[in-house]
Amino acid sequence: MRAILIRQVLWLVGLAFLPAIGQTLYYRGNAAWQQPPVDAAQVTVAQAKNWGAAVLWIDARPDEQFASAHIPGAMQLNEDDWTQLLPKVLAAWSPERKLIVYCSRQTCNASHAVAERLRNEDGLKNVYVLQGGWEEWQKSGQ
């Protein structure tokens, strides 16, 4: 049984390379092979500060992190409780306000996912992601 198992595993592992190589070749000009692609709509803490009261902060972190501390005035919106939290955000939003979404740190992607959904599914304009997230906000001594 072990010989059959090893043979079958090798077959599947090998076969999966064929379409994967094809797709890799198709994407070879587009994909960011060495560094993650940078979201063009990212803002720094300093930029966000300049926008002042026009900013509506969106916290995309999990409940317990939001409860422990968050940017003053921030509203919570994460993918776990999207349907419950979205109406409150939409009620607070107005076309002249800039939405800045943040998560824990530079490498987290919850803020990018939330920002993308707000842009694509809800058609909101002026949606940005805070560079460095909550970690960077704390470092700036706000």
Which residues form the interface with another protein (CB under 8 A)?
1, 4-5, 7-13, 15-17, 19-20, 23-24, 27, 30-37, 60-62, 65, 78-83, 103-104, 107-110, 112-113, 117
- Torsion 67-69-75-78 (CA) sign: negative
CB-nearer residue toward another protein: 76 or 126: 76
Cα within 13 Å of Cα(49), Cβ side? 8
Cβ contacts of 76 within 8 Å, gap of 6 or more: 58, 59, 61, 63, 66, 70, 85
Shortest Cβ 98–another protein spacing (Å): 22
Shortest Cβ 122–another protein spacing (Å): 13
CB-nearer residue toward another protein: 86 or 97: 86
CB-nearer residue toward another protein: 87 or 95: 87
